[in-house]
Amino acid sequence: MAILGIDVGGSGIKGALVENGQLVTERLRIPTPEPSTPEAIADTLNEIVKSFNYKGPIGCGFPALILDGVVKTAANIHKTWIDVPAEKLFSQKTGQPVYLINDADAAGLAEIYYGAGKNKKGTIFMITIGTGIGTAIFINGQLVPNTELGHLKMYGKSAEKYCSDAVRTKKNLSWKQWAMRFNEYLAYIEFLFSPQLIILGGGASKKFDQFAPYLKTRAEIVPAELKNHAGIIGASVWAGSKASINTPSSTPQGNLL
């Protein structure tokens, strides 16, 4: 069964039908409305759902900490989102059951099920590098949700304010200069969690070959395989797991939480 996955980003909201880890339709992208208020985002989601003439469970990756369908942080989105029951709002707007998940967690799920983390055991980190830094942790295939470790403190500010791709662009850093900063962040992660595998996703991962030689980690470090489709695919996986009568054994890696 194909399930609609939607990825809400700062510049665009993307959606596609997904089956077995593959997009089975063209990806539809609609610019993120400005201002990106709850009502405006909900309307855009509904537009995507209608464009596919879709009925059924919907997975939605969202750039915030999500607890029981409620948005709890707004580091890179409109401040009016805090404490909004977005899962309920989106379900009411679309008329379909919507299952919300942190966007980095969604991308991580895609990589664990169908990408660079498939069939890998131990502690695996997914790190998305873009406007901010998103993280997802998996222990033997099980997701530890809402880690938000892009906000670890480095030099008195959030790590993403020190070594995100946006910082690289703003400060006009070379890939080597930026990689030296990012490697400090990776050393911090390794000190705290000792992962066996680190998967790098997000926009900067497209240039992996340009900065990988400057990264020094104990863990194996690899680029994400699903690239721009990871958020959509992972959101679809999440919706499928939540909608399938909550039967963890039906998922490839077992329970997601």
State the pLDDT at residue 256: 56
For residue 251, pLDDT over 70 is answered with: no
Per-residue pLDDT reduced to its tens digit, 144-154: 999 999 999 99
With vertex at residue 16, the alpha carbon angle to CA 13 and CA 18, rounded to the nearest 5 degrees, is: 140
Per-residue pLDDT reduced to its tens digit, 58-113: 999 999 999 999 999 887 788 899 999 999 999 999 999 999 999 999 999 999 99
Sheet holding 220-223, edge to edge: 142-144, 133-139, 123-129, 197-201, 220-223
By percentage, how much of the chain surpasses pLDDT 90? 87
Please give the distance of CA 96 from its chain centroid, rounded to a whole number: 22
Which tokens sit at 34?
Answer: 């400005």
For residue 247, pLDDT over 70 is answered with: no
CATH 3.30.420.40 fits 120-224, yes or no: yes
Domains 3-105+228-250 and 120-224 in one fold: yes
Domain ranges of the chain: 3-105+228-250, 120-224
Token pair 């329970």 is found at 255
Mean pLDDT for the stretch of residues 162-177: 97
CATH of domain 3-105+228-250: 3.30.420.40
What does DSSP say about strands 133-139 and 142-144: parallel, antiparallel, or unpaired?
A: antiparallel
The amino acid occupying position 198 is I
For residue 235, pLDDT over 80 is answered with: yes
Say how far apart CA 242 and CA 29 lie, in whole Å: 25
